[in-house]
Amino acid sequence: MKLLTAIFDRRSRTGLAYLLLVVPIDLLSFVLLIVGSLAGTVLLLTPLGTWLLAVVLRGASGLGGRRRALAARMLGDRVPAPARPVTSGGGLFGWRRAVLRDPVSWRVLAYALIKPPVAVLSLALAGGFYTYGLISLIYLPFYEGVLGYEALAILVTSVILLLLGPWMLRSVLGVERLMIRGLLGPTRANQRISDLQDSRDRAVKDADITLRRIERDLHDGAQARLIGVGMHLAIVRELIGAQAPTQQVVAAVDTAQATLATAVAELRDLVRGIHPPVLDAGLEAALATVAAGSAVPVTVQIDLPSRPPPALESIAYFTVCELLTNAGRHSEARNATIRVLLRSGILVLQVHDDGQGGAYQRAGGGLAGLAERVRVVDGHLTIDSPAGGPTTVTVEIPCPAEDEPVPQGRPDPERRSVGSGLPVPG
């Protein structure tokens, strides 16, 4: 019973059900698409031919989307959808031209045409191991005229087939996954275009959010303070004109001066949020300042053979600040380590802490926001934070070469400790 349970686990049952389900779907899709393709090819001598082929290709793309969804639901293999063809020109003629020129549609059609024999063969191979093994094992006691050694051979063969059934099932499903990714999914160029579009959309969204925040902070903060300064100066003028006591005039001037100082401080904080002045001295000096002011003792290790572009330095600075804040506020860490490396055109940031762990990206959380900010520049963020700790967050950002060298006279980049004074881990 345990043997049968292991052989027919949930993964195997789902895989077999998938193979049984896709055979009729693939056969029906093949018939419809082959008939449409042949009719469109025959009618190419007329204007209807290209229209029929475009409709067939569009239908094939729709079927490809259904197959990706089925594979995601039953096999857990989520393949992103390729980018839709870009219509050149308006109207139906532009749509037809785009569909006929779209290589993705032709790949989906090829998948639908070659899939039926593959589906039948896959079901025969994987299902054959299970079916023959089970039938032989169940009917073995009812075989007549079977000698002892023959019964033993049938028994051993049945058990071997059942044991090899999950392996064969995984093999044919692996072929299915490769075909879906290769023919129904995006190509590398197509995926790159999609990633760039996503990066552009995120950059526009991030810029819009930043501009709205600046506008709100200016309107509710510095602007209101400066209006208050103007009002206080008007009061001072009225007091002077009314020959009020000197104490009242001085008090009004002091109030205006304090309000102006608050406005200047708010403007300074606003500018610091856009580009911290400490970055003017370079990323190394900026992170050293962050480490010195951190509530958690921090060790910094930096190896930058050249200075990254200012935009990447700003992203790296705010990323490290956010991660250190999380380490001190949420993880109850006692020590943290910052590593910054530049290798083969990749800027690597790594923040490690010995806290309680359990960090993960959640919608609307700080780590999710950092991941979005990093993806704007084609970077990615990974989290290694098992329950109980430690936590290591690694950020990798493509970094183009800069002609600006690192300032001379800096300390040894291989080992540099700031904040806690602890030795840098090797």
**pLDDT 10s digits, 216-228:** 766 667 777 777 7
Closest CA to 198 of 368, 105, 83, 349: 83
Whole-number Å distance between alpha carbons of 304 and 346: 11
412 has a pLDDT exceeding 60: no
Inter-residue contact 370 to 322 (CB < 8 Å):
yes
Residue 365's SS3 state is coil
pLDDT digits (tens, 9 = 90+) for 51-109: 888 888 888 888 888 888 888 888 877 777 776 665 555 677 777 777 787 777 888 88
pLDDT greater at residue 148 or residue 317: 317
The H or E element that residue 259 is part of is helix 246-274
**pLDDT of 422:** 31
What is the value of pTM for the model shown? 0.46
Inter-residue contact 158 to 133 (CB < 8 Å):
yes
Average model confidence (pLDDT) for the chain? 76
DSSP 221: I
**pLDDT of 17:** 87
Place of tokens 């998938």: 18
Mean pLDDT of 285-291: 82
In the chain, how many H helices and how many E strands?
A: 12, 5
Contacts of 80 (CB under 8 A, 6+ apart): 185, 186, 191, 194
pLDDT digits (tens, 9 = 90+) for 167-224: 888 888 888 888 888 788 776 666 666 666 666 666 566 666 666 766 776 666 777 7
Place of tokens 């992203």: 315
In percent, how much of the chain has pLDDT > 70?
Answer: 77
DSSP 306: B
**pLDDT of 419:** 36
Mean pLDDT of 380-401: 82
Closest CA to 272 of 233, 308, 317: 317
Mean pLDDT of 401-417: 40
pLDDT greater at residue 165 or residue 221: 165
